[in-house]
Chains A and B, each alone.
Chain A
């Protein structure tokens, strides 16, 4: 049987982490192809429903990544994201989801290697964990 390949959705803010992923590209920093990036204007605009919907649709992991606090294009986006994240974390924890499946990172535009590293690490962890318990009808 082929090795389990986790699916990851990464919500990346336009100004920092999306740009970091761009720079990972221009610098040819390779990372696993399990991730699909969704561009959002700010990490502070990531709605809990986006994350829940990703899990509903069968994502094995979700990454919410944006600027460091001081770099925010919109002043305090990261703080707003943190507040949202704390709530959604509690909800998915109640659902029994493993902590590693929902991750919050601050990755500046210059930190392309960190972006690649985070994806690598997530893929590795999710491979160990196997498919998400929130997936529809997956036999464990």
Chain B
């Protein structure tokens, strides 16, 4: 074994350190420590001449361990590692002592700060004596990308990647892509038709040579790590041959059984065999097995009789598709808050109380009322109340703001005015109109004579107190600007429900080994600086699965996630950090405690030359060290955070 020759460099950081710590004393002290061959102090170690000191000593004095005592390693550890590497020393033979953030900036007693700096330097010198050269490894990478969720986020991400001529597998659990956006009528604040801007993109997905669309499919299993994921997808049986079906719609027409259409939010009907909506991609029919009389009672087959393309196939089975991809983008979207949970608002109890999405279908020209705003009795409403923040900004349900409701509520007000001339009441807490053109749209709607009442609605009732209220819905609230209770009798109430995490978000998070925030949405790696990455390398998130957002933000995020995936692809290989767990096979007893505790499935008990031992997949390992703590024999340890290194620091810190 070569002798350890440590170089120690104390940074003044101008007066940031030297003003409180006697840097010369610390350097002199460092020179007396075991295996230290040179100890210097300098104005700015991070500067080029500062780094040159290190490089020269490595070359001229044979320094083979480097300690810099300066700012936080979170700041300049990479800088000094690079300096070591430039001089031919393995970058992991460097250790950083934090004598600025943790010392000179938080203490004013010079004596105490200097003593502390000495302790920290001594600990770093001890730690670095246990350091080992580590190698950054690389592995080939599969350029294919899996996108999960075919709403606007998934569509955008898939197109961005496919347009770069990389294979994309787009998995959608519903029979057709389009997501919530396909159900929207017009988009705020520009009022352009949602379908008109979405349909071309959906068609492009359907026809793109680099996109493999797996609709009516769900991901069942994900193994592997960035660059090399293996994904098992279940393609659910449609009982319709996708290749043969022309989407002509005859089957649906002939199907004698009708059920509520999910796409129309139950305001319209669909056949049991159906194409979810006119522009659906893929444009093929699906048999709803749960309601199909043939499946229930063994008789009917009306659809089969009338299908010219012979596409109906009652024998079809679920199919398992195995995919190999290098990165994954999750765009699984959101659920709508169940407004029945707030009983005071009377949804489901009274007629003419709609959710936002139901109202979207109502104003859509292709919708169940052909774009007419109608009450249950077929009349136009004379007055409409729009209740904001239903389930949002409410500690009983969701603390967060759902971010889109204010704006679509304004859009509804505008549309109601345009289509019915009814009185409109906006019952809001705060108007949040922060996006491009939003404030202008708010002004415009104000000018259209819409009533804005600042107050959270207490209840919606049909119990009339005056003649005027008879036979109408009464919205009770406090107008907090006037400071008085008000009762607004209206014909129709529209609720603006919160956007909430998908009911299956927990399962999805576990499947892809990512985190969820306290609010239940998927957690980004860093809320500000890494908003589309997740805790798992190579798994990205975009759109409302990460939190409520509008279409422009969703699209921007989807493109960001696509760019992240493309950046993984264009690097062309997986870089594997060396600071991962390692197994001493002599000590390992294959008990499996490591496998059990790891949240990233990195250690696995395998058979090796007839002996069972734990083996760590370095690409999966994050180097957290939980496995090492539970390992009873000490077989497991983490490179660059070994017990010896940490224990050595503790011992050195307390030695004097």
- Residues of chain A having any CB pair with chain B under 8 Å: 7, 9, 14, 18-19, 21-26, 28-33, 36-42, 44-50, 53-54, 57-59, 70, 72-77, 80, 84, 116
Instruction: Give every chain B residue within 8 A of A33 (Cβ-Cβ).
Output: 103, 106-107, 109, 112-113, 115-116
Q: Mark B109-136, 1 if CB is under 8 A from A, else 0.
A: 1001101100110010000000000000
A45 touches B625 (CB 8 A): yes
B74 touches A38 (CB 8 A): no
A80 touches B646 (CB 8 A): no
Residue of B nearest to A24 (CB): B106
Chain B residues 591-607 with CB under 8 Å of chain A are 597, 599-600
- Residues of chain B having any CB pair with chain A under 8 Å: 72-75, 98, 100-103, 105-109, 112-113, 115-116, 119-120, 123, 513, 515, 517-518, 523, 535, 579, 597, 599-600, 622-626, 628-629, 638, 641, 643, 646-647, 649-651, 653-655
B625 touches A44 (CB 8 A): yes
B646 touches A38 (CB 8 A): yes
A25 touches B102 (CB 8 A): yes
B653 touches A47 (CB 8 A): no
Q: How far is the CA of A39 from the CA of B599 in the complex (A)?
A: 22
A-B contact count (CB 8 A): 133
A75 touches B654 (CB 8 A): no
B625 touches A42 (CB 8 A): yes
Instruction: Give every chain A residue within 8 A of B649 (Cβ-Cβ).
Output: 38
B535 touches A36 (CB 8 A): no
B626 touches A74 (CB 8 A): yes
From B106, B120, B599, B625, contact of A36 by CB (8 A): B120
Can you list 9 A-B contacts (CB < 8 A)?
A23-B101, A24-B105, A25-B101, A33-B106, A41-B638, A44-B626, A73-B622, A73-B624, A74-B622
Q: How far is the CA of A31 from the CA of B103 in the complex (A)?
A: 10
- Report the 5 A-B pairs with minimum CB-CB distance, sorted nearest first: A25-B101, A45-B625, A57-B654, A74-B624, A25-B105
| Shortest distance between the CB of B529 and any CB in chain A (Å) | 12
| Shortest distance between the CB of B526 and any CB in chain A (Å) | 10
B647 touches A50 (CB 8 A): yes
A42 touches B102 (CB 8 A): no
Instruction: Give every chain A residue within 8 A of B597 (Cβ-Cβ).
Output: 80
From B106, B115, B515, B600, contact of A29 by CB (8 A): B106
A25 touches B647 (CB 8 A): no
Instruction: Give every chain A residue within 8 A of B75 (Cβ-Cβ).
Output: 22
| Shortest distance between the CB of B594 and any CB in chain A (Å) | 12
Q: A33-B112, A37-B98, A42-B624 are in contact. Are A50 and B106 (CB under 8 A)?
A: no
Q: How far is the CA of A41 from the CA of B639 in the complex (A)?
A: 11
From A7, A45, A46, contact of B654 by CB (8 A): A7
A57 touches B650 (CB 8 A): yes
B629 touches A80 (CB 8 A): yes
Q: How far is the CA of A7 from the CA of B115 in the complex (A)?
A: 12
A77 touches B102 (CB 8 A): no
Known A-B contacts: A30-B108, A44-B624, A53-B651. Give 7 more (CB < 8 A). A18-B74, A22-B74, A25-B100, A25-B105, A44-B629, A74-B599, A80-B629
Q: How far is the CA of A70 from the CA of B120 in the complex (A)?
A: 31
A53 touches B647 (CB 8 A): yes
B638 touches A45 (CB 8 A): yes
From B74, B599, B643, contact of A19 by CB (8 A): B74
A45 touches B105 (CB 8 A): no
B629 touches A45 (CB 8 A): yes
B535 touches A73 (CB 8 A): yes
A75 touches B641 (CB 8 A): no
B653 touches A70 (CB 8 A): no
Q: How far is the CA of A78 from the CA of B413 in the complex (A)?
A: 48
Q: How far is the CA of A22 from the CA of B76 in the complex (A)?
A: 13
A41 touches B625 (CB 8 A): yes
Instruction: Give every chain A residue within 8 A of B654 (Cβ-Cβ).
Output: 7, 9, 36, 54, 57-59
B655 touches A41 (CB 8 A): no
Instruction: Give every chain A residue within 8 A of B599 (Cβ-Cβ).
Output: 74-76
Residue of A nearest to B536 (CB): A75
Residue of B nearest to A51 (CB): B650
From B107, B626, B628, B629, contact of A30 by CB (8 A): B107
Q: How far is the CA of A137 from the CA of B123 in the complex (A)?
A: 24
Instruction: Give every chain B residue within 8 A of A70 (Cβ-Cβ).
Output: 515, 517-518, 523
From A28, A38, A59, A84, contact of B629 by CB (8 A): A84
A22 touches B646 (CB 8 A): no
Q: A36-B653, A57-B651 are in contact. Are A47 and B646 (CB under 8 A)?
A: yes
Instruction: Give every chain A residue within 8 A of B535 (Cβ-Cβ).
Output: 73-75
| Shortest distance between the CB of B535 and any CB in chain A (Å) | 6
Q: How far is the CA of A58 from the CA of B119 in the complex (A)?
A: 14
Instruction: Give every chain A residue within 8 A of B515 (Cβ-Cβ).
Output: 70, 72, 75
Instruction: Give every chain A residue within 8 A of B626 (Cβ-Cβ).
Output: 42, 44-45, 74, 77, 80
A40 touches B646 (CB 8 A): yes
Q: How far is the CA of A116 from the CA of B105 in the complex (A)?
A: 12
Instruction: Give every chain B residue within 8 A of A48 (Cβ-Cβ).
Output: 629
Q: A74-B624, A77-B624, A80-B626 are in contact. Are A31 and B106 (CB under 8 A)?
A: yes
Instruction: Give every chain B residue within 8 A of A23 (Cβ-Cβ).
Output: 101
| Shortest distance between the CB of B419 and any CB in chain A (Å) | 45
Instruction: Give every chain A residue within 8 A of B72 (Cβ-Cβ).
Output: 22, 25
Q: How far is the CA of A77 from the CA of B123 in the complex (A)?
A: 25
From B517, B518, B650, contact of A50 by CB (8 A): B650
Residue of B nearest to A119 (CB): B106
| Shortest distance between the CB of B541 and any CB in chain A (Å) | 15
A41 touches B653 (CB 8 A): no
Residue of B nearest to A13 (CB): B624
Q: A9-B654, A74-B624 are in contact. Are A39 and B647 (CB under 8 A)?
A: no
B653 touches A38 (CB 8 A): yes
B646 touches A50 (CB 8 A): yes
| Shortest distance between the CB of A87 and any CB in chain B (Å) | 10
| Shortest distance between the CB of A3 and any CB in chain B (Å) | 13
Q: How far is the CA of A19 from the CA of B629 in the complex (A)?
A: 23
Instruction: Give every chain A residue within 8 A of B579 (Cβ-Cβ).
Output: 41
Q: How far is the CA of A44 from the CA of B638 in the complex (A)?
A: 13
B106 touches A30 (CB 8 A): yes
| Shortest distance between the CB of B508 and any CB in chain A (Å) | 15
Q: A22-B74, A49-B647 are in contact. Are A41 and B98 (CB under 8 A)?
A: no
Residue of A nearest to B519 (CB): A70
Instruction: Give every chain B residue within 8 A of A36 (Cβ-Cβ).
Output: 116, 119-120, 123, 653-654
Q: How far is the CA of A23 from the CA of B206 in the complex (A)?
A: 50
